[in-house]
């Protein structure tokens, strides 16, 4: 007997989530046995799990994984490492999803500072941070500042002709290209 499409889709998503969670659990157990519970690769797994749970609307679990991954990265790599910026961006995306805009702002500002310090102010990763921050500013009706950041991001990307705008992952949401 066939299930209605929405139930079938929900069950498929649940199976995918369970499968991903099981794989991550096996990896974490393997890492702990090997003495690597605080290894940056464990933090990457936790960051990925956070994004997965966020996508499924389980913000409590997403936050748990995200904060643990951020903690591992800060301790193992230092607070100014680009991977810390990645975890901060995931935390901002989580806060954005929950309409916690001030917390998202703080994480995005810190992520931008980390990337500027690590890569310099004219790097595509800085442009990505600028666009994420601009998306938040647009959501909070700070359009003039958002526009300024978008123009700066486009200026940075203009120095990289082989990099197409679509190649950048905008973590908060896609925003229109500025004029």
The average pLDDT across 80-92 equals 96
pTM above 0.85, yes or no: no
Cβ atoms of 132 and 172 closer than 8 Å: yes
Closest CA to 70 of 112, 93, 98, 42: 42
Token pair in block for residue 95: 């806060």
pLDDT at 103 over 60: yes
The mean per-residue pLDDT over the stretch 42-56 comes to: 90
Segment among 28-42, 71-85, 126-140, 152-166 with least mean pLDDT: 28-42
pLDDT for position 2:
39
pLDDT value of position 119: 96
Tokens of 116: 């500027």
Residue 163: predicted pLDDT: 74
Q: What local confidence, expressed as pLDDT, does residue 23 receive?
A: 62
């Amino acid at each position: 007997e066939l299930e209605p499409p929405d139930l079938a889709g929900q069950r498929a998503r649940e199976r995918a989530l369970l499968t991903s969670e099981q794989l991550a659990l096996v990896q974490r157990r393997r890492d702990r046995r090997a003495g690597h519970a605080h290894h940056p690769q464990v933090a990457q797994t936790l960051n990925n799990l956070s994004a997965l749970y966020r996508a499924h609307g389980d913000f409590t679990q997403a936050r748990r994984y995200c904060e643990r991954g951020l903690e591992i990265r800060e301790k193992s790599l230092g607070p100014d490492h680009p991977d810390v910026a990645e975890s901060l961006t995931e935390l901002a995306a989580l806060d954005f999803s929950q309409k916690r805009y001030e917390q998202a702002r703080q994480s995005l500002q810190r992520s931008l500072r980390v990337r500027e310090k690590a890569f310099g102010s004219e790097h595509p990763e800085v442009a990505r941070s600028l666009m994420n921050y601009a998306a938040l500013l647009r959501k909070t009706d700070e359009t003039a500042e958002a526009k300024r950041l978008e123009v700066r991001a486009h200026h940075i990307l203009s120095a990289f002709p082989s990099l197409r705008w679509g190649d950048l992952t905008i973590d908060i949401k896609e925003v229109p290209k500025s004029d």
